[in-house]
Chains A and B, each alone.
Chain A
């Protein structure tokens, strides 16, 4: 074990003297968390909707007042009145407004006569997010518009009452788990890929191979030093990320202890995988070239940024074998739900078995000679 400890000590000294490396592996993921979390997480507001009113009767006034109430309160959209449809459509096509609400002649008469009254929402469907938001807002608005002034004491239709188990989860909190795993992976890629191959290319490994250190001690030394660095990244990300994302009670010691288990197991799994992938590589360009592809292949199918249920089948297959999936799931259970060990037991089991398989394969492939 002395050889293993010597290699770990060497790596830790190098790591301490490389502030750029520390910044890259720990703080870049934090920047990504903040930027992506706020870029994708917010509700759309202040969309511009043109209104072409060809009715001007009492029911239309009621409908427009309701639009005005949304503009004043939820601010999902505000309205701009157009005298004619042609000009409204020109503005829609030129991007000045996101949709046109067209109220046809005799709309109020049809409402009062209950003769299939209709309004049209003409949308700029190049922006799916705006479309979805406006459709949701107008469906809700028309639902309210259709209700009777005095609702029945016993509703004639089935209704849905939604009960939320956990407090509202903003997107930045949803993204935090994936960001922590990404930070661990970046450290694993640097430690298990780039530094490992660079040392090999510089001839440092040749120096180690002529010493009596065993193959297992060498592998353990490289793996554990990489895992320690990955753990440090994970701990910094979990702590600072939780505070930045607004996770309730972020320094709860019991949860932190459980998180530490997930960090250690995830680090070992990812660094073992990197060693398995890089154990026979000698060209320093290879880990750099594969970094982006691996990142995409592991991070996005894991459910870190979007639920796995939204993926096509082939992507779900990748997700099943992706160690990120289990690490992200375990972090979500702890960070968003403060769940118990039972909730992460399967994830941990998968990652431990995965690490053992990867480490065994890497050891088998590792050459004790040149």
Chain B
């Protein structure tokens, strides 16, 4: 039985379609990444799967339970870390975990053991009795992850868990997650804007845009699915007429995009295309200002499928306050 099975999930806000007939499954113990630009419908989808929003149509089964008709059974088997930092800042780390353990009805003895274990696993034992308002962003995120696991769920939903964290904290959060996953038979569904994280950690990745599933596969297969194995970025001093067309004619070039004097070329053979560009530039008497060759990354996959620059999406990164999220939803509606 798959951990998550979404069939033709659709969510309408008035006339706006936030999630459009999404169908996918997530296997047990898998780390499943959900990528997409802001407003693509990732958070709405997570909210549907975590029973926070009812779907307009379609069926979603989480751990075999329907998210609409058996919402409480779903809630007992999932842990959720929302986009916003939702720990109570006036309480200590331990008290935050205790409140949630009680809300999940975890018996006292088990509660004590699990809280102690999780605080140790998240390296927060020494701060257990300190108020959360004095924690750094990384510490708070680690606490939230520990809090989300306090009832020992089978499926863990994380909505942009590392957004807003510095690189060291990001690495530490992921290391900790991997450590927690070991021996817990935990299935993880995560959304992130960090492609390197998704590439390194996810077993499979779904790319969502305009509420639709545009690609779903392992990171390796996704990278292989787009034209070109290498990406060349070349900056020229000046660009003669018809230069774009000329570059497109290069034998191994799969796709060429221009932004002023800077060209981005997908190629099946990086070294060969490099030589051809150098030759073409020499013949046209155009100076090359810079040239770089990279392997295809998940960024390229993302841009290929969504047709947007990743940095644009990051600039729109949401504020860590659900009030603004609600307001955005209203605007979207």
Contacts and interface: CB of A to CB of B under 8 A. Distances in A.
A70 B155 CA distance: 87
B18 interface: no
B50 A5 contact: no
Interface in A121-169: none
A283 B323 contact: yes
Nearest to A199: B88
A218 to B, nearest CB: 9
Given A206-B322, A207-B82, A10 B91 contact: yes
Contact of A212 (B52, B91, B104): B104
Contacts of A284: 323
B294 interface: no
B322 A14 contact: no
A203 B52 CA distance: 12
Contacts of A283: 323
Given A2-B105, A203-B85, A206-B84, A13 B91 contact: yes
A157 B95 CA distance: 79
A5 B53 CA distance: 26
Nearest to B92: A13
Contacts of A18: 90
Given A212-B72, A369-B51, A369-B52, A203 B322 contact: yes
A16 to B, nearest CB: 10
A159 B322 CA distance: 73
A207 B79 CA distance: 10
Interface in A1-50: 2-3, 5-7, 9-10, 13-14, 17-18
B78 A210 contact: yes
A369 B323 CA distance: 15
Contact of B103 (A17, A206, A208, A369): A208
Contacts of B51: 209-210, 369
B16 interface: no
Contacts of A203: 82, 84-86, 321-322
Given A203-B82, A206-B82, A208-B103, A370 B91 contact: no
A17 B54 contact: no
A202 interface: yes
B326 A282 contact: yes
Given A213-B103, A369-B52, A204 B90 contact: no
Given A201-B321, A369-B54, A212 B86 contact: no
Interface in A170-202: 200-202
A282 B323 contact: yes
B72 A5 contact: no
B102 A6 contact: yes
A211 interface: yes
Nearest to B72: A212
A207 B53 CA distance: 14
Contact of A6 (B47, B80, B103): B103
Interface residues of B, number: 31
B76 interface: yes
Interface in B65-88: 72, 75-76, 78, 80, 82, 84-86, 88
Contacts of B47: 370
Contacts of B95: 10, 13
B99 interface: yes
Contacts of B72: 212
B102 A201 contact: no
A10 B88 contact: yes
B100 interface: yes
Contact of B105 (A17, A206, A207, A212): A212
A369 B50 CA distance: 10
Nearest to A211: B103
A370 B52 contact: yes
A211 B54 contact: no
A279 to B, nearest CB: 15
B179 to A, nearest CB: 23
Interface in B197-219: none
Contacts of B91: 10, 13-14
B50 A201 contact: no
Nearest to B326: A282
Contacts of B131: 17
Contacts of A204: 86, 88
Central interface residue in B85, B321, B322, by most chain A CB within 10 Å: B322
A209 B46 CA distance: 13
Contact of A14 (B53, B75, B88, B105): B88
Contacts of B326: 282, 370
Nearest to A218: B103
A6 B53 CA distance: 24
Nearest to B48: A369
Contacts of A5: 102
B86 A202 contact: yes
Contacts of A369: 51-54
A206 B86 contact: yes
Nearest to A5: B102
Interface in B252-283: none
Contacts of B85: 203
Nearest to A217: B103
A9 B99 contact: yes
B109 to A, nearest CB: 15
Central interface residue in A10, A13, A210, by most chain B CB within 10 Å: A210
Nearest to B147: A207
Given A9-B99, A211-B104, A17 B53 contact: no
Interface of A: 2-3, 5-7, 9-10, 13-14, 17-18, 200-204, 206-213, 282-284, 369-370
Given A369-B54, A370-B53, A370-B326, 7 more contacts: A2-B102, A2-B105, A206-B52, A207-B100, A212-B104, A282-B326, A369-B52
12 contacts: A3-B103, A5-B102, A9-B99, A10-B91, A10-B99, A203-B82, A206-B84, A210-B78, A211-B104, A212-B75, A282-B323, A284-B323
The 9 closest A-B pairs by CB, nearest first: A6-B102, A203-B84, A203-B322, A201-B323, A203-B86, A211-B103, A210-B80, A207-B86, A212-B75
